Amino acid sequence: MTIRIAADQLCVDYNGSVALYDASLTLPAGCICGMVGMNGAGKTTLFKALTGFVRPSRGQIRINGLKVAEAQREQAVAYVPQSEGIDCDFPVSVWDVVMMGRYGSMNLLRIPRQSDRLAVRNALERVELLDLRDRPLSALSGGQRKRAFLARAIAQRASVLLLDEPFNGVDVRTEKLMAELFLQLRNQSCSILISTHDLSNVRDFCDLVVLINKTVLAYGETSEVFTPENLSQAFGGLPPDVLRGQTP
Amino acid sequence: MVRALMISALVGGVCGLLSCYMTLKGWALMGDAVSHAVLPGVVLAYALGLPFSLGAFVFGVGSVATIGFVKQKSRIKEDTVIGLVFTGFFALGLVLVSKTRSNIDLTQILFGNVLGISAADIQQTWMICFVVVALLLLFRRDLLLFCFDPTHARSIGINTGFLHYLLLSVLSLAAVAGLQTVGIILVVAMLVTPGATAYLLTDRFDRMTWLAIGSSVLSSLLGVYLSYWTDSSTAGCIVLVQTGLFLLAFLLAPRHGIFCRTSS
């Protein structure tokens, strides 16, 4: 079994305050893993560590057996941001955004080759945005924007996809399309790590779940980890019956 | 007069190109800071007989490094740190001017004097502009991505720290070039206004750069011409024309202007 992400006893602190400690996580190739936790539980911090934005004070990360920086140079990691972190009025077209997924594989001047254009076209087809490829980003709806950023990750042909709250504020059509795409990508042996607080989605299509609250509380197959007791621990001691409503 | 027109147009074009990145990155305040902070560098370089661009460059980048350091090591917010550091550098420059015995004309540095520009300065300005344009063209796609989504840039293995300092270095160089035409005080207008004007007119980056360069060159030419015939401040005229063009775009731009927005 190929291991995509191996995080071993990760500790991250910001100026002395601990954001994450002793977090260990192993993601095999071809899986969808839901990352569940409260705001401030360390989900974003884990993403930042996996994209090299923060340096762990202890522990190590291997992606496809490589150090983070090396894996990034190999185009192994794609990060799909929360739309809130992006300036939507930025003067770029949908096509430009998706083409940015190819930059890492291009030469220094980033001049697209035929193969890059094909990859972009293909990715746009898969998220059903090909018709809107010349639209500026500002003319898209929230769901279409999410799909554009997902297309960028697909065009990059990364084997590890990190998605920050992909289901936040999207329409039903986009949600369905994204879920289908995740399953396709999983079958192409990609590993997908999704941070979410929508518990029903986790039940529906995540193979694995990791519960986070400053550390990894529980990790494993969805059916085993997704117990009311575990969830109540992850959400800071709410009684299990409060959460039961959200986990059919 | 012809020399002044040419050099203003050149500097205008270069600053116009750079202003697109400044506007999109939200670095207007940084532009202001760097342009003020180069003053001590310029004075020291004059006093030591070095090319003034070298001194300006060192202090421009130095000021930004100081800003980054103070911000990281203290609890003070970024805009406060910027305000604090650049005024400190600027004040140092003022004291240095008054203390070095040389023929530096402070008003010339502060407000520019493109009509009286020397041949050596023209040569230096050409060189600076060439370097700035070359760097911006070489890294234009990377810089655009860096402005748009640094997280993605980082996650595909692009060195964002390098791009950060590249853009800052280019900014320092452009500030020096602009110093000749409009002076330290108003150079920030050259580095912000054309980009903002163009941003109101289009949703395409390529078009935005051409519009910014165009409006900037036009402002420089018109400004120099106006100041020559009305015998008024050249820097003032150039920046006034730029501001006028911005106001036009603000009111009348096809999609983002306020008149069109209310009528549609």
Task: Round the average pLDDT of chain B to a whole number and report it.
Answer: 89
Q: Is A129 in the same domain as A21?
A: no
Shared-domain flag, residues A248 and A166: yes
- Using a CB–CB cutoff of 8 Å, tell me whether A67 touches chain B: no
**CA A185 to CA A162: how far, in whole Å?**
13
* Chain B contact present for A14, CB below 8 A: no
Q: Is A196 on the interface with B (CB under 8 A)?
A: no
Q: Which residues of B touch A156 (CB under 8 A)?
A: 156
Average pLDDT over residues A202-219: 87
Domain ranges of chain B: 2-259
What is the tens place of the pLDDT at every residue in B99-110? 876 667 788 888
Pick the CATH number of B2-259 from 3.40.50.1000, 1.10.3470.10, 3.90.550.10, 3.40.50.970: 1.10.3470.10
Helices (H), chain A: 43-50, 68-73, 94-99, 114-126, 142-156, 172-187, 199-205, 222-225, 228-234, 240-244
Q: A105, A137, A157 — which closes off a domain?
A: A157
Residue type, A226: F
Centre a 10 Å sphere on the Cβ of residue B171 and count the other Cβ atoms it contains: 25
Q: Which of A53, A139, A156 lies nearest to residue B156, judging by beta carbons?
A: A156
Instruction: Tell me, rounded to whole angstroms, the distance of Cα B156 from its chain centroid.
Output: 30
Boundary residue ending a domain (A140, A157, A174): A157
Q: Does one domain contain both A183 and A213?
A: yes
Q: In this complex, is the C-beta atom of A88 within 8 Å of any C-beta atom belonging to chain B?
A: no
Better-scored residue on pLDDT, B197 or B104: B197
Q: Do A103 and B142 touch (CB under 8 A)?
A: yes
Read off the pLDDT band of A27 (50, 70, 90): very high
The predicted structure's pLDDT at residue A29:
92
pLDDT of residue A246 exceeding 60, the answer is no
Element (H, E) at A3: strand A3-14
CATH number of the domain bearing residue A18: 3.40.50.300
> Which residue of chain A has the CA closest to B202?
A91
CB-CB neighbors (< 8 A) of B153 in chain A: 103
**Are A112 and A163 found together in one domain?**
no
Q: Assess contact for B18 and B170: CB atoms under 8 A.
A: yes
Q: Is residue A244 part of a domain?
A: yes
Higher pLDDT, B103 or A59: A59
Contact between chains at A72 and B157 (C-beta distance less than 8 A):
yes
* Chain A nearest C-alpha distance from B13 (Å): 20
Does residue A150 sit in helix, strand or coil?
helix
* Nearest residue of chain A to residue B152 (CA atoms): A79
What is the phi-psi region of residue A201: left when phi exceeds 0, alpha when psi lies from -120 to 50, beta otherwise?
alpha
Provide ipTM, 2 decimals. 0.84
pLDDT higher for B194 or A205?
A: B194
Average pLDDT on A170-195 reads: 90
- Verify that A239 and A170 share a domain, yes or no: yes
Residues A63 and A92 in one domain: no
Number of domains in chain A: 2
Give residue A100's domain range: 86-157
Contacts of A55 in chain B (CB under 8 A): none
Contacts of A76 in chain B (CB under 8 A): none
| pLDDT > 90 in chain B, percent | 48
With bands split at pLDDT 50, 70 and 90, how would you rate the model's confidence at A247? very low
- Both A43 and A56 in one domain: the answer is yes
A93 close to B (CB below 8 A): yes
How far is residue A75's CA from residue A51's CA, in Å, rounded to a whole number?
A: 11
Same domain, A35 and A98: no
pLDDT (average), residues B25-53: 87
Name chain A contacts of B149, Cβ cutoff 8 Å: 81, 86, 100
**Closest alpha carbon within chain B to A162:** B155
Q: Decide if pLDDT at A23 tops 80.
A: yes
How far is A3 from chain B, CA to nearest CA, in Å?
19
Asked if A2 and A118 sit in the same domain, the reply is: no
Q: By CA distance, what is B72's nearest residue in A?
A: A15
**How many whole angstroms separate alpha carbon A87 and alpha carbon B34?**
25
Pair A153, A170 in one domain: no
- Segment A112-168, tens digit of pLDDT: 899 999 999 999 999 999 999 999 988 888 888 889 999 999 999 999 999 988 888
Given 3-state DSSP classes, what are the helix, strand and coil percentages for chain B, each rounded to the nearest 5?
A: 85, 0, 15
Instruction: Look at residues A125, A157, A189 and tell me which one is the last residue of a structural domain.
Output: A157
Rounded-to-integer distance, Cα A181 and Cα A161, Å: 12
Distance CA B23, CA A211 (A): 41
* Residues A248, A172 share a domain: yes
The pLDDT of residue B102: 64
Distance of residue A201 Cα from the nearest chain B Cα, in angstroms = 25
Q: Are A137 and A175 contained in the same domain?
A: no
CA distance A93 to A136: 4
Position A81 in a domain: no
pLDDT at B57: 85
Contact across the interface for A104 and B158, Cβ inside 8 Å = yes
A239 by Cβ neighbours in 10 Å (0-12 / 13-18 / 19+) ranks as: exposed
Of residues B75, B211, B208, B213, the one with CA closest to residue B132: B213
